[in-house]
Amino acid sequence: MSSVRGKVAVVTGAGSGIGRQLALELARRGARLAVSDVDEAALADTVAEVKALGAEVQSGTLDVSDRTAVLEYATAVAGQFGVVHQIYNNAGIAGGGQTVLDADWELYDRTLAVNLFGVINGTKAFLPHLIDSGDGQVVNVSSLNGFMAQPTLSAYCASKFGVRGFTEALRTEMIAAGHPVRVTVVHPGGVKTGIASAALKEAEARGIEPTAEQRERVRVYNEKLLKMPAGQAARIIVDGVEAGKPRVLVGNDAKLVDRLVRLLPRRYPKLIVDFERRRLAR
């Protein structure tokens, strides 16, 4: 029997990509769901698909960077279901495309607000409810870039390295205090979502015209690097949650890069730059 069956699971960023597929996978395994996203229309589509699977679902439009809104949302979810067992802090943005020299402060502010503080907000808001459930779990989505840095992704890498550190610190605290909450950090590799293309749209919305090189980078990512279907990624994540894994690497690329960084901590930055140059030259 699925260990998520009957559990109340909260998924942020559920309007698309991994978040939507997490909601659907959890629904198939019998979870009760609370789903949120900043995109109301996309969230409505997810809710319709979840309901078609017969799952109980509550939804709310939510910007995870808004701490007050997240706290209010946690209270509402706990009030409706009476208990909360799991939080999947998945919501995130691309936050990349420019070097440290060229990037404006707004890029860092927004990327860290959503990717890092969104995770912190969600964790702190729901953690008391998870403890009270007697069988809680925090699942925070980092990235392959939570242990590997890349050029023009400094804001994104800073946020995802931060998610990893925050989550691992939380795990030590739950162990030390003896709280009944398992803690998992997820590092997806190249999953086929719209995150790379969204980075271009976000830049354009901020009045920044992407360069030809930036557009080419996105094309290469979409066509050659972001290959794993989001549904497959969601299954790997939920399998890891059910197995009680503290760390879930999603995809062979994530596993390979994890080994590379561990084995060659001084050399891997140059190897990454050489790899990207070859990819963009093709």
Return the active site residues: 156
Could you identify the residue written with the tokens 């050659």? 224
State the Cα–Cα distance between residues 92 and 195, nearest whole angstrom: 9
Q: Which of 125, 127, 133, 34 is nearest to 80 (CA)?
A: 34
Written as six digits, the tokens of 223 are 């066509």
Q: Are 35 and 23 in contact (CB under 8 A)?
A: yes
User: 3-state DSSP call for residue 229?
Assistant: strand
DSSP per-residue codes, 28-45: HTT-EEEEEES-HHHHHH
Written as six digits, the tokens of 241 are 């949650």
Q: Which residues contact 202 (CB under 8 A, 6 or more apart)?
A: 93, 94
Written as six digits, the tokens of 151 are 């050029």
Q: Are 163 and 93 in contact (CB under 8 A)?
A: no
